[in-house]
Amino acid sequence: MDWDDIAKYSYISSAKEVRSLGYWLSKTIEENPKVFDSSSLQIVGHSLGAHIAGFAGKEYFSATGTKISKITGVDPAGPLFQTCSDQHRLSVSDADHVLT
């Protein structure tokens, strides 16, 4: 997923878009089951992208009742996220396997 147009803004502005980008990614996966098989799908995200992956996992499970196979969060962003509850950041419950 290329979110360069949003990521080029300030950290705070970009962080505000993480949830909506995760939702969009989830819908893309959900609407293209022939392309994306959730049982073998791995999403990798760095920094804010790790939280985008987490929100995608949350939304996908909410919509389908099935978890994405694996999410890897590479150095997940801390500021604005590290004190949040699991529902507002990448969490171990967002996929069958979550690595950080």
Q: What is the pLDDT of residues 27-76, one digit of tens each?
A: 999 999 999 999 999 999 999 999 999 999 999 999 999 999 999 999 99
Three-state secondary structure call for residue 31: coil
> Is residue 4 assigned to a domain?
no
Domain that holds residue 60: 11-99
> Is residue 55 assigned to a domain?
yes
Q: What is the pTM of this model?
A: 0.95
Residues 86, 92, 96, 100, CA torsion sign: positive
- Residue at token pair 């502005």: 13
Structural domains of the chain, count = 1
> Is residue 24 assigned to a domain?
yes
pLDDT at position 17 over 90: yes
Distance, in Å, from the CA atom of 24 to the CA atom of 43, rounded to the nearest integer, reads 14
Distance, in Å, from the CA atom of 85 to the CA atom of 43, rounded to the nearest integer, reads 21
Q: Half-sphere exposure of residue 12, counting CA atoms within 13 Å on the CB side?
A: 0
Radius of gyration of the chain (CA): 12
